[in-house]
Amino acid sequence: MDATSFKGFIRYCSFTHLNLTVPVFQSPGSASFGMSVFNLGNAIMGSGILGLAYAMANTGIAMFVILLVAVAIFSLYSVHLLLKTANEGGSLVYEQLGYKAFGIPGAKVFFSNSLSIPAMASYLYIVKYELPIVIKAFLDSNDNSWYINGDYLVLIVTLVIILPLSLLKNLGYLGYTSGFSLLCMVFFLIVVSTEIFPQVNTTDEECCKPKYFIFNSQTVYAVPILTFAFVCHPAILPMYEELKDRSRRKMQNVANVSFLGMFVMYLLAALFGYLTFNEAVEPELLHTYSKVYSFDVVLLIVRFAVLTAVTLTVPVVLFPIRTSVNQLLGASKEFSWPRHICITVALLVCVNILVIFVPTIRDIFGFIGASAAAMLIFILPSAFYIKLVKKESMKSIQKIGATLFLIVGFMVMICSMALIIADWIHNAGSSGVTRSSCTRGHSCE
| Residue 1 in this model has a pLDDT that exceeds 50 | no
Q: What is the band of 259 on the pLDDT scale with cuts at 50, 70, 90? A: very high
Distance of CA 205 to the CA centre of its chain: 36
The more confident residue out of 282 and 124 is 124
* C-alpha torsion angle, residues 315, 320, 323, 325 (rounded to 10): -90
The more confident residue out of 382 and 431 is 382
The more confident residue out of 32 and 442 is 32
| Residue 28 in this model has a pLDDT that exceeds 70 | no
Per-residue pLDDT, 42: 76
Q: How many CA atoms lie within 13 A of 97 on its CB side?
A: 31
Residue 47 phi/psi, 5° resolution? -65, -20
User: Residue 17 falls within a domain, yes or no?
Assistant: no
CA–CA gap between residue 445 and residue 434 (Å, rounded)? 14
User: Residue 79 falls within a domain, yes or no?
Assistant: yes
Range of the domain at 344: 34-426
| Residue 267 in this model has a pLDDT that exceeds 90 | yes
Q: Residue type for 363, please?
A: D
User: Residue 283 falls within a domain, yes or no?
Assistant: yes
pTM above 0.85, yes or no: no
User: Residue 217 falls within a domain, yes or no?
Assistant: yes
The more confident residue out of 382 and 175 is 382
Query: Which whole number is the average pLDDT over 249-257?
Result: 92
Q: Residue type for 255, please?
A: A
Q: What is the band of 4 on the pLDDT scale with cuts at 50, 70, 90? A: very low
Per-residue pLDDT, 34: 85
CA–CA gap between residue 228 and residue 231 (Å, rounded)? 5
Query: Which whole number is the average pLDDT over 80-93?
Result: 83
| Residue 99 in this model has a pLDDT that exceeds 90 | no
Q: Residue type for 386, please?
A: I
Q: Is the dihedral of CA 104, 107, 110, 116 positive or negative?
A: negative
Q: Residue type for 238, please?
A: P
Instruction: Show Cβ contacts of residue 386 under 8 Å, excluding neighbours closer than 6 positions.
Output: 394, 399, 402, 403, 406
Q: What is the band of 15 on the pLDDT scale with cuts at 50, 70, 90? A: very low
Q: Residue type for 256, please?
A: N
The alpha-helical segments, DSSP class H, found in 220-284 are 222-229, 233-242, 248-277
Per-residue pLDDT, 430: 55
**Number of separate domains in the chain:** 1
Per-residue pLDDT, 163: 93
| Residue 283 in this model has a pLDDT that exceeds 60 | yes
User: Residue 432 falls within a domain, yes or no?
Assistant: no
Query: Which whole number is the average pLDDT over 101-105?
Result: 74
Q: What is the band of 17 on the pLDDT scale with cuts at 50, 70, 90? A: very low
Per-residue pLDDT, 310: 84
User: Residue 68 falls within a domain, yes or no?
Assistant: yes
User: Residue 28 falls within a domain, yes or no?
Assistant: no
pLDDT digits (tens, 9 = 90+) for 187-215: 888 877 775 554 434 445 555 678 888 88
User: Residue 228 falls within a domain, yes or no?
Assistant: yes
Query: Which whole-number Å values give the CA distances from 26 to 11, 21, 93, in the listed order?
Result: 13, 9, 12
CATH code for the domain of 345: 1.20.1740.10
Q: Are 221 and 410 in contact (CB under 8 A)?
A: no
Query: Which whole number is the average pLDDT over 105-127?
Result: 68
